[in-house]
Copies of this chain bind each other. A is one copy, B any other.
Amino acid sequence: MSLDAVLSRIDQDLEAATDRLLTLLRIPSISTDPAFKADCDAAADWLVEDLTSIGFDATKRKTPGHPMVVAHDTEVADNASPHLMFYGHYDVQPVDPLDLWDTPPFEPAIEDTAKGRVIRGRGSSDDKGQLMTFVEACRAWKAVNGTLPARISFFFEGEEESGSPSLVPFMTENADELRSDVALICDTGLFGHDTPAIVTMLRGLLGEELTITGPSKDLHSGMYGGVSMNPARVLARIIAGLHDDEGRVTVDGFYDDVPELPNSLRAQWEDLNFDHKSFLGEVGLSVPAGETGRSPLEMIWSRPTCEVNGLWSGYTGDGFKTVLPSQASAKISFRLVGQQDPLKIRESFSAYVQSMLPQDCSVDFKDHGASRAGHMSTDHPAFEQARIALSEEWPNTAAYVGCGGSIPIAGHFKNILGVDAMLVGFGRDDDQIHSPNEKYDLESFHKGIRSWARILDAMSK
């Protein structure tokens, strides 16, 4: 039977597949920092070359930002069914604070740890390791069977970690080419160590940056301290006022479009017996810090948030400088759920900030992207086929779950192309994505490749 042969081939090829991933991980494709523009380009080139080598018609496509990679199978008829579009992103998060990395972030290596072998390096889990699981599944399938069991295309972007400014225009302009029967997105995680998951709820994201200006320049705190406005104090009051004592966000109308969790889904989630103590314990925390009266899974999957992601003002170097800063800035993001409208919340947030400004202070805003929450319909048969296939590969049955992160691409597939997206991924909670020492378990990579082979097999039957 061909699936068994493909799975064997995957097992035999694991070392070579890992080497290919390490090569891709060595490219520092940090999309948010203009200094790494050429590296983003190089990562796109590498993917084009790799996909071409396994028989895809792969091209790098210009955008005003970093390029897209689009590839189609040349050996399957254009009208063959089903047509599956696989999405991933080749860009990665910045690496600071660099001094907290135990190994250089872009010198990836296989590492033996107490919990098994891991691939260590920036992007190993988010998302280069994940996107390569599907590429490797296709490579193995082709090596064994010559042709793939379905019509498969690839769509990789390089701006996912920096707000995806080129994504919607590109998808809109190339809608006919990118449309498929189902989109497959590999940028999420397992639910538990041995429990695969298909994400059916995703939080949206609104990114805001604000700079409060008080005096026209930095002042001496002896000469001016007491009599002049300190924008750092104003910013602190604004941030402190964003939550009430129950942990709820105070921005006007924030909860207007936030639905309560349906009882059926609440029951399913309770059945998952989420171990929040160990989830938090691994990062040095012990108590859920969100809204009073909400379960930890609700806090992460189905409740909106407001968080400070960055904060800076005045003198931040060694020693002390008795300066009254002229400006104070913060990067603040909102995770959105249900039908929350990012643009409405942006306006509400702006009005809140304005209302907190004392005389002699002004504010400037910078927009860092906005996306609504996503809700996947599981009606398409691919969902149940994938759930069964995943359950065969992993020790535990696969679950339909929520995801606290924001993967706007799922909504774009639906809204722009009319295509349902299925989110399957193999990351683990301790992968430290967006943090120092990011890793991807070798098991995630290996069983991830095998999982896609099983899913392809199930979908093409």
Which residues of A approach B to under 8 Å, CB–CB? 32-34, 93-94, 96-97, 100, 161-163, 203, 205, 207, 209, 214-230, 232-233, 235-243, 276, 279-280, 283-291, 296, 299-300, 303-305, 307-325, 328-331, 333, 335, 358-360, 368-369, 403-406, 429, 432-436
Partner of A283, one of B228, B315, B322: B228
- Chain B residues lying within 8 Å of A323, measured Cβ to Cβ, are 309-310, 434-435
Across-interface contacts of A434 in B (CB, < 8 A): 218-221, 321-323
A335–B222 touching, CB < 8 Å? yes
Give A314 Cβ to nearest chain B Cβ, in Å.
Answer: 4
Give the residues in chain B near A223, CB-CB below 8 Å. 300, 404-405, 429, 433
Given A222-B406, A227-B288, A315 and B309 touching (CB < 8 A)?
yes
- A240 to B233 alpha-carbon distance, docked (Å): 6
Assuming A233-B243, A239-B232, A434-B219, is B280 touching A319 (CB within 8 A)?
A: no
Copies, count: 2
Chain B nearest CB from A263 CB (Å) reads: 21
> Judging by beta carbons under 8 Å apart, are A226 and B404 in contact?
yes
The answer, among B97, B215, B230, B299, for a CB contact under 8 Å with A308, is B230
In the complex, chain B residues whose CB is within 8 Å of the CB of A310: 232, 313-316, 321, 323, 325
Given A225-B335, A309-B320, 9 extra CB contacts under 8 A: A32-B317, A32-B319, A34-B318, A225-B307, A226-B303, A227-B289, A240-B241, A286-B359, A310-B325
Q: Assess whether B220 is in contact with A308, with CB atoms less than 8 Å apart.
A: no
Chain B, Cβ-Cβ closest to A407 = B222
**Residue among A240, A279, A308, A313 with max Cβ neighbours from chain B (10 Å):** A308
- Per CB-CB distance, the 5 closest pairs between chain A and chain B, nearest first, are A222-B405, A216-B284, A32-B319, A236-B239, A240-B240
B229 to A289, Cβ gap below 8 A? yes
Assess whether A239 is in contact with B228, with CB atoms less than 8 Å apart: no
Known: A207-B320, A239-B236. A226 touches B290 (CB 8 A): yes
Known pairs A285-B214, A368-B320, A404-B225; A311 contacts B241 (CB<8 A): no
- Bound Cα distance A226, B203 (Å): 12
Q: Is the CB of A308 within 8 A of B319?
A: no
Q: Do A217 and B436 have beta carbons less than 8 Å apart? A: yes
B300 near A324 with CB under 8 A, answer: no
A333 and B320 contact, CB distance less than 8 A: yes
Chain B: minimal CB distance from A233 (Å): 6
